[in-house]
């Protein structure tokens, strides 16, 4: 019986077969380079070279980043800075006029090819107007300057602002300062310019402020005309009862309360009253819209606004109130009609301004 372990080896001896011999490695000739075989590590000098390249690349990227960051920071402008990028020509104006219940003053006008805080470059040059605006009234007033402000340049159509740095809404008793920028042709002369306030789209009465030459702001200001007229208004719902209306003044205005600027060719006419009720009972004539009219060449107009009370307590004295009408500008004679409480017609009273 044969046994594998007893098989004869090639040498003729019994036992295990000898392990096969590995082929001898070839020796590289002097001066030649040998690539590492599979599983062999790269020489240490190559790893050192790669590490040095990576370190240099990282340092280069970091240096570039720091340079770019420093450059960007150098471009930042402090808030509100207005350093011009070109020479500025300045004209002191110091002229003002009322518009829409606000008082506008043009402090100065500046001409330059550009301003660093105005990134809207819509023309070859810019005119900047510095304005001081005051709300001396009792109601908040809002102005859309892109619509209401125009720069008048000789030989050009009215120019709308390209940039606005003024508050739109101004509370009662407050003031604000700011500027309007207008694109203009190169070589524009500041002394030839005018500021126009008023919306032509809304057909508002316009205000024009020239920067030089004759100018009278009173042409745009309201005026108060004192009066001394007492009107006995019979309340015929109860016979024998009457109210005494003392007309103390009439105002002619271009703006009124929440009504804003008057329409072109018109003015607001405001009748200011003090009312007495000498009766021992309350008298209630109703709102002024119901029984007061302005008579113009036979036509009648109802009030646009009335602050007269609808009723007066017994013995009431000097109760204030007003009614406001819109009528053609420049009237010097006004006829006010008190309508009868019941029936047609009424009593007319004429005042002179």
Q: What is the mean pLDDT of the segment spanning 19-45? A: 50
Mean pLDDT of the chain: 84
Secondary structure (H, E, C), 46-63: HHHHHHHHHHHHHHHHHH
Question: Which residue in the block uniquely carries the two structure tokens 């509100």?
Answer: 80
Q: What is the pTM of this model?
A: 0.72
Q: Phi/psi zone of residue 34: left (φ > 0), alpha (ψ -120 to 50 degrees), beta?
A: beta
Domains within the chain, CATH numbers bracketed = 89-220 (2.60.40.4170), 223-352 (2.60.40.1240)
pLDDT tens, 188-216?
999 999 999 999 999 999 999 999 999 99
| SS3 call for 259 | helix
What is the Rg, in whole angstroms, of the alpha carbon atoms belonging to the chain?
46
Closest C-alpha to 188, from 243, 109, 245, 241 = 109
pLDDT tens, 40-65?
555 566 666 666 767 766 666 655 55
User: Is residue 159 within 8 Å of 194, Cβ to Cβ?
Assistant: no
pLDDT tens, 132-188?
999 999 999 999 999 999 999 999 999 999 999 999 999 999 999 999 999 999 999
Beta bridge mates, 175: 134
Strands 242-253 and 169-170: unpaired
Termini Cα distance of the chain:
153
pLDDT at 309 over 80: yes
Q: For residues 279 and 234, what is the distance between their CA atoms, to the nearest angstrom? A: 12
Q: For residues 34 and 32, what is the distance between their CA atoms, to the nearest angstrom? A: 7
């Amino acid at each position: 019986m044969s046994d594998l372990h007893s098989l004869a080896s090639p040498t003729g001896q019994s036992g295990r077969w000898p392990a096969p011999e590995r082929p001898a490695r070839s020796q590289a000739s002097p001066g030649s380079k040998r690539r590492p075989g599979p599983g062999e590590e790269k020489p240490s000098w190559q790893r050192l070279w790669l590490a040095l390249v990576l370190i240099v690349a990282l340092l280069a990227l970091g240096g570039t980043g720091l340079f770019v960051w420093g450059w960007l920071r150098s471009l930042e402008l402090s808030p509100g800075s207005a350093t011009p990028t070109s020479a500025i020509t300045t004209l002191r104006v110091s002229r003002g006029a009322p518009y829409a219940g606000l008082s506008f003053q043009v402090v100065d006008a500046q001409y330059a090819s550009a301003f660093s805080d105005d990134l809207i470059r819509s023309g070859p040059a810019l005119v900047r107007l510095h304005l001081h605006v005051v709300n001396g009234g009792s109601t908040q007033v809002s102005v859309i300057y892109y619509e209401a402000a125009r720069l008048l340049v000789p030989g050009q159509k009215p120019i709308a602002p390209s940039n606005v740095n003024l508050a739109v809404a101004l509370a009662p008793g407050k003031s604000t300062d700011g500027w309007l920028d207008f694109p203009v042709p190169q070589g524009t002369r500041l002394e030839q310019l005018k500021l126009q306030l008023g919306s032509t789209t809304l057909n508002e009465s316009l205000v024009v402020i020239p920067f030089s030459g004759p100018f009278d702001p009173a042409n745009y200001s309201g005026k108060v005309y004192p009066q001394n007229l007492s009107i006995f208004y019979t309340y015929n719902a109860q016979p024998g009862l009457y109210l005494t209306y003392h007309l103390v003044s009439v105002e002619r205005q271009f703006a009124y309360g929440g009504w804003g600027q008057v329409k072109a060719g018109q003015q607001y006419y405001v009748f200011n009253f003090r009312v007495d009720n000498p009766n021992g009972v309350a008298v209630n004539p109703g709102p002024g819209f119901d029984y007061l009219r302005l008579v113009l060449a036979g036509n009648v107009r109802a009030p646009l606004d009335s602050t007269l009370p609808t009723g007066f307590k017994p013995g009431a004295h000097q109760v204030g109130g007003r009614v406001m009408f819109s009528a053609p500008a420049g009237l010097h004679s006004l006829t006010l009609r008190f309508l009868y409480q019941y029936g047609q017609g009424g009593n007319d009273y004429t005042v002179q301004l």
